[in-house]
Amino acid sequence: MEAGNHTEVSEFLLLGLSDDPALQPLLFGVFLSIYLVTMLGNLLIILAISSDSNLHTTMYFFLSNLSFVDICFISTTIPKMLVNIQAESKNISYIGCLVQTCFFTIFAGMDDFLLTVMAYDRYVAICQPLHYAVTMNPRFCGFLVLISWFIIFWVALLHILLIMRLTFCMGTEIPHFFCELAQIFEVACSDTLANKIFLYVATVLLGVFPLSGILFSYYRIISSLRRMASTKGRYKAFSTCVSHLSVVSLFYGTGLGFYVNSALTRSSQRSLIASVIYTVVTPMLNPFIYSLRNRDVKGALRSLFGRAASCP
């Protein structure tokens, strides 16, 4: 097949989750509901934290940032899929595909970074409590978030610049419901070796290293808790980590499942299911995990609802 220059390709075809016309209304309803629940849940977390002065701490500063990123994360994929289902279209423009890929990479990477700095925050709080206020001061926390945005922005930009070097054939079909990096490489009509090398390097730097940092932080936390004499103190300290551990397990478990499944199997259906869990279900469940497992957040939400109900 002869490759055409990418400037001749004005759009791609996103094949979506299913070709069955009878399933499209069901898919539209399910994913619209998930999107609205995700938006509402994460917005409530942000409003609760911003409205309750007791939650103006480092831990909840990172949590509000995580909720904001989750809103953006799911908004890069679901709205376009819903529009395509409603319009009975599979098209996405070449520029639109690049923009979607860029933002998906940014917000997925920010999720990764925020979970890492939240683990470090718990490590300092439990293992170095006397230095916590000095170490995790607002200026340093803001710096951690800003440097995370800076790093992932340049990583995403390099991915896009490398994709722009590729050529694609007319009528290129992407067997996915959004423009995902690995899928774009598979459908390119030119050599993607440089793209794949950079993807592997970025995955190690932005995935393996942060996960190693999280695991090391919790290794030190567990070691510190084992030395505590008070059982009640151990339980209270570890209870502050349960929500974060649950989110980390969900994010990395589904994310690794998605990429391992994509690498080891040719089953596009199984890969799609894994990607749905990773990109859609995880952002939806995060606010529930933090609100159900966190007494302070539940109290702030009750106060928020109480104020809303008392307004004329």
Per-residue pLDDT for 224 more than 60?
A: yes
CA atoms within 13 A on the CB side of 94: 17
Region of residue 201 (phi > 0: left; psi between -120 and 50: alpha; otherwise: beta): alpha
User: Please, what's the b/e burial string for 272-285 (b: 16 or more CB within 10 A of its CB; e: otherwise)?
Assistant: bebbbbbbbebbbb
User: 3-state DSSP call for residue 151?
Assistant: helix
Q: Which domains does the chain have, with CATH numbers?
A: 6-310 (1.20.1070.10)
Quickly state the pLDDT bin for 29 (edges 50, 70, 90). very high
Say whether pTM exceeds 0.85. yes
Q: Find how far residue 310's CA is from the centre of its chain.
A: 35
Q: What is the distance, to the nearest Å, from the Cα of residue 247 to the centroid of all Cα atoms in its chain?
A: 11
Q: What is the pLDDT of residue 37?
A: 94
> What is the mean pLDDT of the segment spanning 100-107?
94
Contacts of 111 (CB under 8 A, 6+ apart): 66, 69, 70, 73, 251
Whole-number Å distance between alpha carbons of 218 and 41:
27
Q: Where are the alpha helices (DSSP H) in the chain?
A: 24-51, 58-75, 78-87, 94-127, 132-135, 138-164, 181-187, 193-203, 209-226, 231-264, 268-276, 282-293, 295-310
pLDDT one-digit tens code per residue, 181-192: 888 888 888 888
- How is residue 18 annotated by DSSP? -
pLDDT (average), residues 261-284: 69
Average pLDDT, the chain: 84
